[in-house]
Amino acid sequence: MSCKQAILLLEDGAAFDGLAFAAPGEAIGEAVLYTGVVGYQEVVTNPSYRGAILTLTYPIIGSYGVNDEDSESSAAHVRGVVIRDYSATVSNFRATGSFEDFLRQRRVVGIRGVDTRAVAVHLRERGEMRAAIAPADADRAALLARLRATPAPFGTDLVAELSPEAAPPPPAEPKHRVAVLDLGAKRSLLAQLAQLGCAVELLPATASAADLLAKRPEGVILAGGPGDPRVAAYAIETARALSGKAPLLGIGLGHQVLALALGCTVRRMKLGHRGVNYPVRDLGANHCDITVQHHSFVVDAAGVASAVEITHVNVNDATVEGIRARAARASGVQFHPTPDEHGRPSGILERFVQGEA
């Protein structure tokens, strides 16, 4: 484990000192927070974090190592990782390696020994912004100039950078047939669909409505993904063309793409939702769920189209967490549907594949 000095530099000039971690070198990306206690392997391999400099706010990272089963994709999508303390000692019966080696093998630059509480407070007060990780002896003025001259990752088409994932093998006797427009679909989502007996047709983000309908699905899911949905005009057009022709479910970025296709507007948040304990109220059922979220953009409540109803809201900040357009047979959720405490697939997914959504 390296003891070389390193720096985390934000575009507003704020600097945080630390030690080099994982792969050596320099990284520039969008500074975001992840507040979960566990899940670092899943997060760095989650396509929703493409282009991010990820600060893990839990103070001790790495104690349970990594394994061959929990990655959400075949690649690491973050550009850099910021942590407080790193545990080089791994203690978990499922572990097959260390987190630092995992990042180093995937050329992810990191910094440890950072006061991540101070980083979290700074981003909470100033908002998400571009950031750089670099060796401490770098020319800070030149680094800041280079950082400010680098286009904001979330303003570029990050979906186009994603490599396609393989669809899960179909069940021996499929109960349902679902097409997934892959805007950054997670393996755990595809696994839940397989568990529900779905034969999944996974199509690239650039697929047309005709491509998706040619698979004769019972429903289409617009799944996951990073960055600003307004950049992915091709996906918005596909969702618009699918409206009313097949049941649609948008998840995460797919929810935002669907909203834009239905005539709603989307805005950037000051500080995104990235963690595992966001309370969301289901307005129809009048109950709350604790949800997993990974996003920096949100459907604007002031710009919801007249034909669209809000179905879910965030309890903490009242942001839109779910929508439905009955005439278009379309619905979306900003959070990520997850299995229940018994390992059963999400009720949202189950109701959708059974045609009840």
For residue 353, count other CB atoms closer than 10 A to its CB: 23
The tens digit of pLDDT for each residue in 205-238 reads 999 999 999 999 999 999 999 999 999 999 999 9
CA distance 341 to 344: 7
Are 212 and 220 contacting, i.e. CB atoms less than 8 angstroms apart?
yes
- Which residues are CB-contacts of 121 (< 8 A; sequence separation ≥ 6)? none
Q: Is residue 34's pLDDT more than 70?
A: yes
Q: Is residue 171's pLDDT more than 90?
A: no
Is the pTM higher than 0.85? The answer reads yes
Encoded amino acid at 325, one letter: A
Mean pLDDT of the chain: 96
Domains of the chain: 5-155 (3.50.30.20), 159-353 (3.40.50.880)
Q: Is residue 356's pLDDT more than 80?
A: no
Are 335 and 280 contacting, i.e. CB atoms less than 8 angstroms apart?
yes
Tell me how many degrees the CA angle 276-229-296 measures, rounded to the nearest 5.
Answer: 35
Tell me how many degrees the CA angle 285-355-338 measures, rounded to the nearest 5.
Answer: 60
58 sits in which H/E element:
none
Please name the residue that has the structure tokens 């949202």: 348
Main-chain phi, psi angles of 42, to 5 degrees: -65, -40
The tens digit of pLDDT for each residue in 237-290 reads 999 999 999 999 999 999 999 999 999 999 999 999 999 999 999 999 989 999
CA distance 194 to 192: 5
Per-residue pLDDT band for 172 (boundaries 50, 70, 90) equals confident
pLDDT given for residue 165 in this prediction: 83
Looking at the DSSP bridge assignments, the partners of residue 302 are: none
